[in-house]
Amino acid sequence: MYSLRLILKNTLRHKLRTGLTVLGLVVAIFSFGLLQTVVDAWYAGAEGASNTTLVTRNKTSLVFPLPLSYQARIRAVPGVTGVGFANWFQGVYKDPKNFFAQFAISGESYLNIYPDYLLPDEQRNAFLHDRKGCIVGRKLADQYGFKVGDTIPLKGTIYPGNWELVVRGIYDGRQSSTNTATLFFHWEYVNETIKKVMPRRANQIGVYVVQINQPENAAGISAAVDKEFANSLAETLTETEKAFQLSFVSMSEAIVMAIRVVSFVVIVIIAAVMANTMAMSARERLGEYATLKALGFGPGFLAKMIFGESLLLALVGAGLGIALLFPFSVFLGKVMGTMFPVFEVSQLTVLQQLLAALAIGAVAAIAPTIRAVRVNIVDGLRSIG
């Protein structure tokens, strides 16, 4: 207890210096956590992917469709328990700046593969029985004020024309990491219209989502599906949903890497500032350290005083930085809207912040401790700081 009181008194001896150091730590730990949260948001789709879901797309490129007739053949592959499909729609809602994900899906077969989308039974039934019906995620509904019964007008880009969808349900996520910033509607609605205006583009879908019985069978089932369509006009590439999501992230890998580097550079800079603060404190207290050594206090006691002060500063700064990160991330998530469907501070990020703070405190205390331990009693007593 006495040691703790002494450490606290030493920490508050120069209040302005202590305050500025803590402020720097708060900014650094907060910035580090925020940048790590941005990276996590980038990978949220891949991290939230199911390990029992595969995605089958055109082997040449994602922009090329697959025939609707593939569905039955994929369903017949051993180990497959369910098949749905989805088409990226990319319609414009009022203004091109109002961007959010829109998928034309196979209805019930698609929803069955994603049980993390929680939808009341009456809303689910209303959606399934309305050709023009759609469901929207809670985050998307909150951002644009969508309510059940509203009509959402979309101007098609990939599929030209004016499309009107009726909100039949608003789904929530089973977990906080579930994407609730997407609009789903019936592919049949699109296909019926395309048959009339562009018959050659009808009965074509973007990707199949394939549910399998066991995660460990993913590689074998993927190979079996692709073998089924080998040497056809539309060969397939089947991979896990996580791998499929990561293929999109890889397109911006340089940006993600730059964010990671910047987050660690921030920590290195504040570690240097912290080390300078502790060095100044140690230089001013050489006489005190010499007196303590003359009174019989050993190197361990001096190290405890210096490391204690440094770690206390680091932990106070980390605590404030972490406390500020949570409300700011909620605010930023609302501001960014559907740009990052999932934007939340993970437990791993908080742990990394704490470890970074402890590392800063420990590293900053090393040089002052060595100097204090090595100080000669006579030379130390002559020191005036």
> Which has more confidence, 378 or 8?
8
- Rounded to the nearest 10°, the torsion over CA 152, 157, 162, 167 is -20
Q: Is residue 54 part of a domain?
A: no
* Angle, CA of 127, 128 and 129, to the nearest 5°: 90
The answer as to whether 245 is a domain residue is no
Is pLDDT above 70 for 384? no
Residue 249, pLDDT > 90, answer no
Q: What is the average per-residue pLDDT within 103-123?
A: 93
pLDDT per residue as tens digits for the range 294-339: 777 777 888 888 888 888 888 999 999 999 999 998 888 877 777 7
- DSSP letter for 92, please: B
Q: Taking 70 as the threshold, does the pLDDT of residue 379 lie above it?
A: no
How far CA 260 is from CA of 177, 253, 263, 269, 294, in Å, comes to 21, 11, 5, 15, 48
Q: How much is the pLDDT for 123?
A: 95
* 121 and 189 housed in the same domain: yes
Residues 222 and 123 in one domain: yes
Q: Span 122-139, mean pLDDT?
A: 94
Instruction: Report percent pLDDT > 90 for the chain.
Output: 41
Closest listed residue to residue 169, CA positions, set 108, 128, 209: 128
Residue 50 within a domain: no
Asked if the structure places residue 241 within a domain, the reply is: no
CB-CB contact of 21 with 313 (8 Å):
yes
Q: Report yes or no on 326 lying in a domain.
A: yes
Measured between alpha carbons, how far is 214 from 52 in angstroms, rounded to an integer?
6
Looking at the fold, whether 189 and 257 belong to one and the same domain comes out as: no
Task: List the structure tokens of 316.
Answer: 């106070």
No. of helices (H) and no. of strands (E), the chain: 15, 12
Structure tokens at 167: 């909100």
User: Do 358 and 266 have their domain in common?
Assistant: yes
Decide if 22 contacts 315 (C-beta within 8 A).
Answer: no
| End residue of a domain, out of 181, 205, 234 | 234
Rounded mean pLDDT, 37-44: 81
Tell me if residue 84 falls in helix, strand or coil: strand
Residue 383 clears pLDDT 80, i.e. is over it: no
**pLDDT tens-digit series, residues 193-202:** 888 888 888 8
Residues 66, 15 share a domain: no
**Do residues 168 and 227 both lie within one domain?**
yes
Last residue of some domain: 184, 207, 234? 234
State the total domains in the chain: 2
**Which residues form the domain of 124?**
60-234
Q: What is the mean pLDDT of residues 250-270?
A: 81
Q: Are residues 338 and 222 in the same domain?
A: no
Residue 260, domain member (yes or no): yes
Candidates 275, 305, 311; CA nearest to 288 is 305
**Predicted structure pTM score:** 0.78
pLDDT digits (tens, 9 = 90+) for 275-305: 887 877 777 776 777 777 777 777 788 888 8
Q: Report the percentage of the chain scoring pLDDT > 70.
A: 95
Name the more confident of 225 and 294. 225
Tell whether 279 and 312 lie within a shared domain: yes
In this structure, are 78 and 209 located in the same domain? Answer: yes
Residue 218 sits in the same domain as residue 293: no
What per-residue confidence (pLDDT) applies to 87? 93
Residues 83 and 29 in one domain: no
Please write the tens of the pLDDT for every residue from 56-82.
999 998 889 999 999 999 999 999 999
> In this structure, are 159 and 297 located in the same domain?
no
In a domain, 141, yes or no: yes
- Per DSSP, the residues of 243-277 read HHHHHHHGGGHHHHHHHHHHHHHHHHHHHHHHHHH
Average pLDDT on 353-365 reads 89
pLDDT band at 117 (very low <50, low <70, confident <90, very high): very high
Domain boundary among 234, 269, 293: 234
Residue 272 inside a domain? The answer is: yes
